[in-house]
Structure 1
Amino acid sequence: MIKKRILSLSLIFATGLLLSLSPQDSRPNIIIILADDMGYSDIGSFGSEIETPNLNAMAEGGLKMTQFYNSSRCCPTRASLLTGLYPHQAGVGHMVNEREQPGYRGMLNEECVTMAEALKEGGYSTYMTGKWHLNDRKEHWPVKQGFDRYFGLLDGANSYFGNHPYRPNQKLTYALNDEPYTPGEGFYATDAYTDYALKFIEEGKDKNKPFFLYLAYTAPHWPLHALEEDIARYRGRYMKGWDKMREERFRRMQETGIISRATKLSPRDENVPAWESLSEDEKRRWDEKMAVYAAMVDRMDQNIGRLRQKLEETGEDKKTIIMFLSDNGGSYEAIEGSGFTPEILEASMKPASDPTSFTAYQHEGANVSNTPFRKFKRWEHEGGISTPFIAYYPGKIKSGSISHQPAHIIDLMATSLELAGVTYPKTYKGNTIKPLEGVSMATLFNGQKWQGHDAIFFEHEGNRAVRQGDWKLLSIYPENKWALYNMKTDRSELNDLSARLPKKVKEMEKLYDAWAARANVLPFAQLEEYDRQRKRK
């Protein structure tokens, strides 16, 4: 049964989370920070050796959620985050490939409304910097979807030092508001996204309106590009090897309560060789890649520190809630094949610390990033869909809070609207809008009992899952065979109980099928056949 998602304004007052409204609008500023391709254990407060003091301080001063889920890939997650719907309902069930099927249009459809559009209607200034990746047609740029101001990358990836297409026939576009933007000398994407975020906040602070900022860093998505001053701090740290790094992260995660003592560390991924089998040159090459990857996360954290400092300087820090998460798990992807230009393939062979290189950390690095889980970005295993989640709101969210309750990126819209006192629209620009799927977490942020979800659903490229309570039903495409796991005792998904509990499998499969039917999900084989036929024409 669909629960009522958005409370009335009088009930919002009753939560005690908001101050009473005054003529000088005292509703909170809302900041959502999204990392790109960052694994579950890649920040210090979730077990990493990477230095992330600003995120750690937010985690210690706010709420950590250990079972927060994304949609396993960049475009679907971004669609869900902005709309409060499952990605297929918003029209982005796959990537930005444009198809005729309603769930796979490759762009946000007219049956959804973005968080920016809803908050703008409710009196907020709306800003975005960073990666859009929800179709680069100009009619779908961020300024056409509710953002007052925008700076960032419209496509999925790029050099951090400028604008260099990496795919054949690709047109990559940075944009400032509604015009193309050409990066100049000294450009580094992570810093630039923050520069413009600070500029937007500074220039809008006298308008007596709260603001919504969606800061979507491209870090640490490939290519591995970092500044030498950051790389130097990490060289040599990874020479102990990936097995040792995973074990150390796993131990810290258990010691700090991120994962339970019942959880086991998954075996090294089958695509990753034993560390001892590598030559010294191969070991140094991997250490270099990981040093650059760590430097990218480190630099992102430094920039989050710059943002927090700006809030303090402008007196907005105690009026602002910040939520941080990642769009999917660590990425196994390699720079190889026909999807990349010859120049990029050549650049992939250069050392990762070379600014002209174009490299990725592949299965080996992603297996470390996703400690203690199996699989990666694109799969619906915990390694693909689990994100560290931090909510920080000084004086409102209790310091040192931790929640092990399952939540999903669809919840951010409902949460933000409740905090803002804004009603989710039934219609927008003459179009009927689908009801929200997410559940507001405002009561959880206030230290009260949260109703949570009856069930949470996942599908990407035929990989499927449903999470209900402590149970998770999961399948991999194209095998399409259901496996059943108990998340309370086996979050690493090592012990398949489907043969022992066939009734539970059938029960959860029915839930999945009903969701897929109403959420515009198609069998992936059907989409593949559609693409083959279209290519023949």
Structure 2
Amino acid sequence: MSLYMPKRNNIFSFNALFMIKRRILSLSLIFATGLLVSLAPRKDQPNIIIILADDMGYSDIGSFGSEIETPYLDALATGGLKMTQFYNASRCCPTRASLLTGLYPHQAGVGHMVNEREQPGYRGMLNEECVTIAEALKDGGYSTLMAGKWHLNDRKEHWPVKQGFDRYFGLLDGANSYFGNRPYRPNQKLTYALDDAPYTPGAGFYATDAYTDYALKFIEEGKEKDKPFFLYLAYTAPHWPLHALEEDIAKYRGRYMKGWDKLREARFRRMQEMGVIPRSTKLSPRDENVPAWESLSEAEKRRWDEKMAVYAAMVDRMDQNIGRLRQKLKELGEAENTIIMFLSDNGGSYEAIDGPGFTPEILEASRMSPSNPASFTAYEYEGANVSNTPFRKFKRWEHEGGISTPFIAHYPGTIQPGSISHQPAHIIDLMATSLELAGVTYPKTYQGNAIKPMEGVSLASLFDGQKWQGHEAIFFEHEGNRAVRQGEWKLVSMFPENKWALYNMETDRTELKDLSAQRPEKVKGMEKLYDAWAARANVVPFAQLVEYDKQRKRE
């Protein structure tokens, strides 16, 4: 069993004993004080909160090894469960589609980004064969709330309020200035929205704070309806551009002057000490796109230190806002009846602000100091290699650096504090988990359309300290990069080489020793699994998509 817990009692589960002890203590206090009060039982339907970070790497929070100060997330981890082998879909749009529907992204119509194509798996928007968590829970009696980044097509008929959310505030697109509305590509329009209307940020706007402001407002308003609520809080932090508040940046200036190699090594040691990765794990080498720290000039070192200070400040501010959310739950008396799940949509991003894809004004802004609110910068390969410690590769690839997310679940009275699980799990599991906790049935049809069966497996039994069945296999594909995870084995390939490599995840999580030549039968068997999945999930070979796009341009 992969969930590390103290030895269990033969008759009672830990949770049962915990609840009995808590009740005895409460009764003792009642009799001691002479007070006559009733003990409120847990409600049948808990509030459910899913918090999604954007482009945050595996080791970017304190409880997963970071030097960045994240006390509120760390408290959730200490009081709940950490899952060390939880996977996303390696890119923003596919992950969001998969998380919300319990399907693989291609099945939901978002196998790539929001580029609209004719192929069923690549329509660039959620299709009519899926249902969102919000739609299912709304039919089950929940208030459904969302704040933050949508990025599942900005056509008005696909805004969050059309996909099951009662209330919405946030960014419909993929990225923006944290201080307002600032198009960064030629002929681009960006839209913040409040419910079903465009929203114009005013003076003093900072996106991370604003998302939380509206989330808290929605929760307070919903409290009056006497319904449980589902909140999907999708921060844009710490996605580029690197934008933070000076009060947060000041805490981190100078911390990164030791250089990326020493930072990766320090995170790696902490992760081993915390049990996030085994002691036997080897740290992957510095990425080939990252130069030796000693080769940089003093000015280059200072600029990178400033970038990382801003990046850390963005994660720090997100954590502060998660603290605000938890405080509001306590004030409303909802903290004990709320499950919170936290994760990131993909690994750290190597992307740079350069080339013809950006406007001249933005390219000029990319050369400014990242602490300047008028700047528009990214931390590129160097920062992403630190964020994804100890893994190889980045957002977009299906190696561990692209698909691994820190995952935390906190549910008082159900999840044993300080639990850790090393079983592989995936974002497709969040739909099944949410519905089981809510006691809501996944629909076979919705608004007259047949709905694809869920692909995920509920984590509820794992949360309760019981044996979890897990997955027979988990699959990945994005822009021709492919992978299969089956038990201890992982088969992975990169586009355009399209050559399978085989790794043992128990002994080599950092994917350093390719065993494909020694285990050809394992490669063949897992490749068959992948091919069968790709056929039923509407995956199209990426080379065909590229040719299709070229043909459309010629037409």
Task: Tell me the TM-score range normalised by the shorter chain.
Answer: over 0.9
Q: Give the aligned residue type for 2:446.
A: Y
Residue 520 (str. 1) matches residue 538 (str. 2): yes
2:385 pairs with 354, 367, 378, which one? 367
Check if 1:155 corresponds to 2:173.
Answer: yes
| Structure 2 length-normalised TM | 0.93
- Which residue in 2 is equivalent to 1:429? 447
C-alpha separation between the residues in 2 aligned to 1:95 and 1:324? Answer: 23
Structure 1 CA distance for aligned equivalents of residues 450 and 153 of structure 2? 22
How far has the Cα of 1:396 moved from its partner?
Answer: 1.2
User: In structure 2, what is the equivalent of residue 68 of structure 1?
Assistant: 86
What are the superposed Cα offsets for residues 404-431 of structure 1, whole Å, 9 maximum, x if unpaired?
A: 0000000000000000000000000000
TM superposition shift of 1:206: 1.6
Alignment of 1:465 with 2:483, yes or no, is: yes
What's 2:37 paired with? none
Give the distance between the partners of 2:439 and 2:543, measured in 1 at CA: 43
Which secondary structure state, in structure 2, belongs to the residue aligned with residue 276 of structure 1?
A: helix
Secondary structure at the counterpart of residue 499 of structure 2: coil
Q: Per-residue deviation at 1:208?
A: 1.0
Q: Is the 8 A contact 1:62 1:393 kept in 2?
A: yes
Q: Of 203, 208, 213, which aligns to 2:221?
A: 203
Larger of the two Rg values belongs to structure: 2
2-structure distance, mates of 1:431, 1:394 = 37
Counterpart check, 1:474 vs 2:498:
no
Residue 89 of structure 1 aligns with an amino acid whose one-letter code is: Q
Q: Which residue matches 2:350?
A: 332
1:119: Cα distance to partner?
A: 0.2
Distance 1:24 1:223 in 2: 43
| Whole-angstrom CA distance in 2 between matches of 1:443 and 1:255 | 27
Q: In the aligned structure 1, how far is the partner of 2:125 from the partner of 2:144?
A: 20
State the match for 2:470 in structure 1. Answer: 452
Residue 25 of structure 1 deviates from its aligned partner by: 5.6
1:360 aligned partner, one-letter code: A
Aligned partner of 1:224 in structure 2 is 242
Task: Report the residue type matching 2:323 in the other structure.
Answer: G
Residue deviations 1:173-219 (CA, integer Å, cap 9, x gap): 00000000000000000000000000000111021100000000000
**2:201 equivalent in structure 1:** 183
Give the Cα separation in 1 of the matches to 2:412 and 2:356: 49
Paired AA for residue 119 in structure 1: L
Pairwise CA distance, 1:505: 0.3
- Kept in 1, the 8 Å contact 2:172–2:192? The answer is yes
Residue pair 1:328, 1:377 contacting (<8 A) in 2 also: yes
Alignment partner, residue 138 of structure 2: 120
Aligned equivalent of 1:138, options 151, 156, 170? 156
Secondary structure of 1:357's counterpart equals coil
8 Å contact 1:26–1:210 — kept in the other structure?
A: no
CA distances 1:246-294 after superposition (whole Å, capped 9, x unpaired): 0000000000100011210000000000000000000000000000000
Paired residue type of 1:225: H
Alpha-carbon shift at residue 394 of structure 1 (Å): 1.2
SS in structure 1 at match of 2:301 = helix
Cα distance in 2, alignment partners of residues 382 and 122 from structure 1 = 36
Residue in 2 that maps onto 1:378: 396
Asked if 1:261 corresponds to 2:279, the answer is yes
Of the candidates 431, 442, 465, which is equivalent to residue 413 of structure 1?
A: 431
Deviation string, structure 1 residues 339-382 (Cα, Å, up to 9, x no partner)? 11000000000000000000000000000000000000000000
> Matched residues in 2 for 1:98 and 1:52: separation?
38
Shift of 1:26: 3.5
Residues 25, 210 of structure 1: 8 Å contact kept? no
1:15-44 superposed Cα distances (whole Å, 9 cap, x missing partner): 989x9xx99964100000000000000000
3-state DSSP of counterpart to 2:74: helix
> CA–CA distance in 2 between the matches of 1:340 and 1:173?
18
Q: Once the two structures are superposed, what CA deviation does each residue of 1:201-239 show, in whole Å capped at 9, x if it has no partner?
A: 011102110000000000000000000000000000000
1:171 correspondence with 2:196: no
Aligned to 2:293: 275
Per-residue Cα deviation, 1:426-473 (whole angstroms, up to 9, x for no partner): 000000000000000000000000000000000000000000000000
TM-score (norm: length of structure 1) = 0.96
Question: How far, CA to CA, are the matches of 1:128 and 1:500 in structure 2?
Answer: 49
Task: Tell me, in whole angstroms, the C-alpha distance in 1 between the residues paired with 2:180 and 2:213.
Answer: 15
Consecutive unaligned residues in structure 2, runs of 5 or more: 1-14, 20-39
Cα distance in 2 for residues equivalent to 1:70 and 1:311: 27
Aligned to 1:47: 65
Whether the 8 Å contact between 1:38 and 1:369 is mirrored in structure 2 is: yes
- The corresponding residue for 1:401 is 419
The answer to whether the 8 Å contact 1:194/1:303 transfers is yes
1:233 aligns with 2:286: no
Deviation at residue 96 of structure 1 after TM alignment:
0.1
Please provide the CA RMSD for this pair: 1.3
Contact 1:414–1:436 (8 Å) recurs in 2: yes
| Partner in structure 1 of residue 50 of structure 2 | 32
- C-alpha contact 2:149 2:235 (8 A) present in aligned 1: yes
Find the aligned partners of 1:29 and 1:518 in 2 and give their Cα distance. Answer: 34
Matched residue pairs, number?
Answer: 520
In the alignment, does 2:375 pair up with 1:357? Answer: yes
Cα distance, 1:122 vs structure 2 = 0.3
Partner of 2:12: none
Q: 1:207 aligns to what SS in structure 2?
A: coil
> Pick from 365, 377, 386: which aligns with 1:347?
365
Q: 1:305 is paired with a residue of what secondary structure?
A: helix
Q: Separation in 2 of the partners of 1:350 and 1:190?
A: 22
1:388 corresponds to which of 400, 406, 420: 406
